[in-house]
Amino acid sequence: MRINGVEIEDTFAEAFKMRAARLIITAVNEKWALTAARTATGFATSVIGCGGEAGIEATIPADETPDGRPGVVVLFFTMSHKDMEKHLMRRVGQCIMTCPTTACFNGLESEKKLKIGGTLRYFGDGFQISKLFEGRRFWRIPVMEGEFLIEESFGIVKAIGGGNFLILGESPQVTLEAAEKAVEAMEKVRGVVMPFPGGIVRSGSKTTSQYKFLHASTNTAYCPTLRRQVDSALPEGVNSVLEIVIDGLTEEAIREAMRVGIRAACRPGIVRISAGNYGGALGQYQFHLREVVGAR
């Protein structure tokens, strides 16, 4: 199977179960909403080293936010309910509440909820004020600038992490350009984020290592400098590989993001599109590339 002359390998991306939360951050303008969102989602690329994964889902206009101000929607992904509570407490408290003019609202309806605002309210030192509006409880926490408004509880739902595809190109330049075009197309899909820097991974990993103290190491089969030393997965002419990892709220959202991303990456200089999997041993979800690119 080929798209614009680029081979789509007959393989699948392997993904696994996660938990997700969605936050709506608002501020006096988009600049400060984005500042809070970028700070709160920093150092959240992989559960391997960060404990959680996160990214910006979308920017939204003032008429779509709870308080009528410009907003940014962010998604957080962790392996467990307990991990999510820990990450949200730290990231909301240290990165959103500290940012000028921001407010923070729940973006997911769910039976399971985390009382993030209900705990952060104690920062108000007894001067915090509770407000109930249309069945939702909010806290007004006094800060030096004025007040930080935060919803009491945030929904947490089952989600999927680790959707991915690999872009195999003739040179680092054309491979990066293809990856950038892929991310640009995928950012238009709601319900997903690409948690790595700029949405792109240069240091893809495998789940084994020759060192006993490591659970993951560089994906040697896709390292161009090692093609003569290991069992390489690279065809001749490939001198650079980049990976795009996708976390999503649903299988459908991940499939759509992969579809538009792969199609956007099929450009001159790209030899093959592949995916990272471990024979089904890592996760419960499989996204077969040839099925994905042909589906809507």
Residues 123-179 pLDDT 10s: 999 999 999 998 999 999 999 999 999 999 999 999 999 999 999 999 999 999 999
Q: Which of these three, 157, 176, 210, is where a domain ends?
A: 157
Split at pLDDT 50, 70, 90, the class of 277 is confident
Check whether residue 216 and residue 251 sit in a common domain.
yes
Check whether residue 196 and residue 288 sit in a common domain.
yes
Mean pLDDT of the chain: 96
Check whether residue 104 and residue 174 sit in a common domain.
no
Check whether residue 198 and residue 149 sit in a common domain.
no
pLDDT in tens, 90-100: 999 999 999 99
Residue 262 CA neighbour count, 13 Å, CB half: 35
Check whether residue 167 and residue 145 sit in a common domain.
no
Check whether residue 27 and residue 138 sit in a common domain.
yes
Q: Which of these three, 114, 140, 157, is where a domain ends?
A: 157
pLDDT exceeds cutoff 90 at 9:
yes
What per-residue confidence (pLDDT) applies to 194? 98
pTM, to two decimals: 0.94
> Which CATH number fits the domain that encloses residue 207?
3.30.70.520
Check whether residue 228 and residue 140 sit in a common domain.
no
Check whether residue 118 and residue 50 sit in a common domain.
yes
Domain extent for 204: 2-14+161-293
Check whether residue 229 and residue 109 sit in a common domain.
no
pLDDT exceeds cutoff 70 at 295:
no
Tokens 């940014």 found at? 72
The total domain count for the chain is 2
Q: Which of these three, 157, 191, 213, is where a domain ends?
A: 157
Split at pLDDT 50, 70, 90, the class of 226 is very high
Check whether residue 146 and residue 168 sit in a common domain.
no
pLDDT in tens, 27-38: 999 999 999 999
**Cα separation, 289 vs 11, whole angstroms:** 6
Does residue 146 contact residue 185 with C-beta atoms inside 8 Å? no
Handedness of CA 132, 137, 138, 141 (dihedral sign): positive
Split at pLDDT 50, 70, 90, the class of 108 is very high
Alpha carbon distances (Å) from 214 to 79, 209, 217? 19, 6, 7
pLDDT in tens, 173-200: 999 999 999 999 999 999 999 999 999 9
Check whether residue 61 and residue 188 sit in a common domain.
no
What per-residue confidence (pLDDT) applies to 81? 95
Check whether residue 152 and residue 201 sit in a common domain.
no
